[in-house]
Chains A and B, each alone.
Chain A
Amino acid sequence: MRDPRITAGAVALGLIALLVGGAFFGLAMEAVRNPQPVAVDATMLRVVRFTLWQAALSTVLSAVPAVLVARALSRCGSFPGRGLILKMFALPLALPAIVAALGVLALLGRAGYLAGPLSALSGETWPGIYGLSGILVAHVFFNMPLATRFLLEALDTVPADQWRLASQLGMGGAATFRFVEWPAIRAGLPGVAGLVFMLCVTSFTVVLTLGGGPAATTVEVAIYQALRFDFDPARAVALTALQLALTAAVLLVLKRLGADAAADAAISVTRRRTFGAGLGETVLDTLVIAAAVVVVAAPIVSVILSGLQADLRRLVADAAVHRAALTSVGLAAVSGTLAVALSLSLAAARHALARRRKGPASGLLERAMDAGAGYVLVVPSIVIGAGWFVLLRQTALSAPVAMTMVATVNAAMAMPFALRAIRPAYDASSDRYGRLAAQLGLTGWNKFRLVDWPQMRRPLATGLAFAMALSLGDLGVIALFGSDAVETLPYLLLARMGSYRTADAAGIALLLAALTLALMTLADLARKEAP
């Protein structure tokens, strides 16, 4: 008795394995074919060193302020605007990385909004924020709010009675921090820091757009440059091997530290306590929160302002923008649909396997459909893209091939996130109605029409919108495979930035941000409204 759901899940796993395996095959072939393998040279080591260094700095600069901000938010309890601040802290991760990078440039670049004041302050012409400092600012913009949300959730796990006890015992701010808050934060900190570090090690877009020259290049950007500018596949293969070794080593260390690198970035922050603090503490907390709000809001506001200053009417009429927008939306739709199909197959197969097994121990296949699928994220999309690029470069890198690559790799990368929306709903629906449907003989189309679709359409919509948003904003695979024939909005944005058409770039960024946020809002709405 072969369950079709398990077959579908196996096919989905097979497709993902093919995608990753094909890339590795391409890299291995290239390495074998090359009689003189490229040795790891000093330049490469410098790139590796820089990759780790910027990631470590970014992590410290994100996590330490996040501790202060999370504590301040937790201590202030509920105040008007708190929900709004938390919503805003979820924004950076929803924004395409290239839009955020552009926001940082619009703010702190040589001609940015703050260039004038900064020049006046320092007494010399503001040089602009390229290089390490630019990368760090962008990474903090992304990760400080993320870390804050995680740590706030950790603080919310402290039982209400402990807060009451602390205030009854007359603990001041310092004592409360030491005995109540710090233990909770310390428990969450390795996971948060690990996640941020991993995100920064594999950061591509930010480094590509804000990194300046060979001094500020990460391994991923070096792979891209080896393939697109130096036409040196052998070097790209060596760099890819380095990147894989680097990711694996980081993961191993993180695992030892107990961090979950495949953790959910979409967390809910709800509970709060309401115990009064002294006036001085309240003022300090307010200042900390205000500073964090400025750090997060300033780049977003810059994107909006500079975007509005662009000649939007001309951009909307621009044929290249039209084409890119159509390509982007089309690819995102295909990629999102594929991601949802993969997720649904995996969720159904996992559930069927879990129901079938006798006993608490889960089999290898079931585990592969479960957490295993999430580890696709650990193989950076640039690595997958580079592998296929090397493999296919001999034959033809035609437009259809490029589009297929972009759509499938983005689908695989979005799949773990779509799975998070779909799997719980599928499991709940099946647990609730599985026996009833079996008894009433509801199978196939009838079951889909009468049971699954009404139950699943909202989580499916959430997964689809989310996966589409991710795909829409991605500048990874398209950077490798893109060309004049295949341009997405992020690719076009990068091209306009490269040719110093800054106003155009700002306008496109605003357009892209609006599209992505609209999709994210849709995903959120679909999740919230009860069926």
Chain B
Amino acid sequence: MTAGPAVTMDKVTFGYGEVAFAFDICFEPGAITALMGASGSGKSTLLNLVAGFESPGAGRVVIGDRDVTALPPARRPVSMIFQENNLFAHLDVEKNVGLGRSPSLALSAADRAAVAQALARTGLDGKQKRLPRELSGGERQRVALARVLVRERPVLLLDEPFASLGPALRADMLALLADLQAERGMTVVFVTHHPDDARRLASRIAFLDQGRVAAHGEAGTFFSGGGPEAFRRYVGTRP
């Protein structure tokens, strides 16, 4: 297991209409960071900038020691899981995962083996030929995770991936995610609104406020009352 690379946003600015974002942060390599903050604080925008779906107005996005600012999404060492629509509705599970290996679905025997293995690892064995609509919400996100496994990119971004799942399913998915991260050592940044998720999974917290990184540090410090005032207000009465 090799640790994932550091993800650095070096004085990245981004403007959308009246809203201006400015991110300057370095995500710890091989760790899980929870990205928190109120709606509109810029969590999704930050992930989109790292994944390459948005281009910064100024500044650099550096992954490891490589400047990826000008690279298109597919050439960045990044996989991202969205809240919904991670799967093509008209393609079955196997093909959806296979796309992680080849965008033309020209799969070698080794690729097929990797797909089968990833599906087994995420508990989807036997569901290869199902269409996304024949799966539960949790299973669909498992397919997305399986594709992350076959893509073998060292950085994983998750934008509220389990927000639409019930508590028990969410706990299962968090456990699976923690296991996979422990196996692969990926650098993981995940957006969540739930302090419990962050506490359970993350070793670090980054807190966004009004388009800026307001605080960034050890999860333990944040949850023992060491976080900034805005974070305590956001999380509410619980420490």
Q: B52 to A438, Cβ gap below 8 A?
A: yes
Of chain B, the residue at the smallest CB distance from A453 is B90
Interface 1/0s, chain A 359-373, versus B by CB < 8 A?
Answer: 111000000000000
- B46-69 vs A, Cβ < 8 Å mask (1 yes, 0 no): 001001110000000000000000
Majority-rule SS of A interface residues: helix
Kindly state the separation between the CA atoms of A447 and B104 in the bound complex, as whole angstroms.
8
- Residue B80, interface by CB 8 Å: yes
Q: Is B91 an interface residue (CB 8 A)?
A: yes
Nearest A residue (CB) for B82: A435
Contact A433 B88 (CB under 8 A): yes
In the complex, the answer to whether B103 meets A435 with C-beta atoms within 8 Å is: no
For the side of the interface on B, what is the size category?
A: 20 to 34
Residue of B nearest to A455 (CB): B90
Check: A253 CB closer than 8 A to any chain B CB. Answer: no
- B33: chain A residues at CB < 8 Å are none
A432 touches B99 (CB 8 A): no
Minimum CB–CB distance from A530 to chain B (whole Å) comes to: 10
User: Would you call A436 an interface residue if the criterion is a C-beta within 8 Å of the partner chain's C-beta atoms?
Assistant: yes
| CB 8 Å contact bits of B72-113 with A (1 = contact, 0 = none) | 111100111010011011110000000110011100000000
Asked if residues B74 and A440 are in contact (CB atoms below 8 Å), the reply is: yes
Instruction: Convert B21-32 into 0s and 1s, putting 1 for each residue whose CB lies closer than 8 angstroms to a CB of A.
Output: 000000000000
Contact B16 A358, beta carbon cutoff 8 Å: yes
Across chains A and B, the number of contacting residue pairs, with CB separation under 8 Å, is 61
Name B104's contact: one of A358, A435, A439, A446 (CB within 8 Å). A446
Kindly state the separation between the CA atoms of A505 and B105 in the bound complex, as whole angstroms.
56
Residues of B contacting A: mostly:
loop
Task: Return chain A residues, CB-CB under 8 Å to B80.
Answer: 435, 439
Q: Are B88 and A451 interface neighbours, CB within 8 A?
A: yes
User: Which residue of the partner chain, among A433, A439, A447, contacts B51 with CB atoms under 8 Å?
Assistant: A439
Question: Closest residue of chain A to B52, judged by CB?
Answer: A438
Which residues in B have their C-beta under 8 angstroms from that of A440?
Answer: 74, 99-100, 103
B73 and A438: CB pair below 8 A? yes
Which single member of A360, A432, A443 contacts B85 (CB below 8 Å)? A432
Residues of B contacting A446 in the complex (Cβ-Cβ under 8 angstroms): 103-104
| A117 CB-CB contact with B under 8 Å | no
User: What is the bound-complex CA distance between A454 and B92, given in angstroms?
Assistant: 13
- Complex: A447 Cα to B105 Cα, angstroms: 11
Question: In the complex the two chains form, is B72's CB within 8 Å of A438's CB?
Answer: yes
Question: How far is the CB of A385 from the nearest CB of chain B, in Å?
Answer: 42
Task: Give the residues in chain A near B74, CB-CB below 8 Å.
Answer: 438-441
> In the complex, A433 Cα to B89 Cα: how many Å?
10
Q: How far is the CA of A447 from the CA of B99 in the complex (A)?
A: 11
Residues of B with C-beta under 8 A to A531: 89-90
Q: Are A450 and B72 touching (Cβ within 8 A)?
A: no
Report Cα–Cα, A435/B48, bound state, in Å: 9
Closest Cβ–Cβ distance, residue A133 to chain B (whole Å):
54
- Which of A358, A432, A435, A455 lies at the interface centre, i.e. has the most chain B CB atoms within 10 A of its CB? A435
Residues on the B chain within 8 Å of A443, using CB: 103
Residues of B within 8 A of A438 (CB): 52-53, 72-74
Chain A positions within 8 Å of B51 at CB level: 435, 439
Q: Knowing A433-B88, A454-B90 touch, does A439 contact B15 (C-beta < 8 A)?
A: no
Whether, in the assembled complex, B236 has its beta carbon less than 8 Å from a beta carbon of chain A, the answer is no
Q: Are B103 and A436 in touch, CB under 8 angstroms?
A: no
A250: Cβ under 8 A from any B Cβ = no
Distance in Å: Cβ of B15 to nearest Cβ of chain A: 6
> CA of A144 to CA of B82 in the docked complex: distance in angstroms?
48
Tell me the nearest residue of chain A to B51, going by C-beta. Answer: A439
Q: Is A354 an interface position by the 8 A CB rule? A: no
Question: Is the pair B73, A439 in contact by a Cβ cutoff of 8 Å?
Answer: yes
- Asked if B167 CB lies within 8 Å of chain A CBs, one says no
Contact B17 A359 (CB under 8 A): yes
Distance from A196 Cβ to chain B, minimum over Cβ atoms (Å): 39
Distance in Å: Cβ of A14 to nearest Cβ of chain B: 28
Asked if A310 is at the interface of the complex by the 8 Å CB criterion, the answer is: no
Q: Can you give 26 contacting A-B residue pairs, CB < 8 Å?
A: A358-B15, A358-B16, A359-B15, A359-B18, A435-B53, A435-B73, A435-B80, A435-B82, A436-B86, A438-B53, A438-B72, A438-B73, A439-B53, A439-B74, A439-B80, A440-B74, A440-B100, A441-B73, A442-B99, A443-B103, A446-B104, A447-B103, A450-B99, A454-B88, A454-B91, A531-B90
The residues of A with any CB-CB pair to B shorter than 8 Å are: 358-361, 432-433, 435-436, 438-443, 446-447, 450-451, 454-455, 531
Q: Which 9 A-B pairs have the closest CB atoms?
A: A441-B74, A359-B17, A454-B90, A438-B73, A441-B103, A439-B73, A442-B103, A432-B85, A446-B104
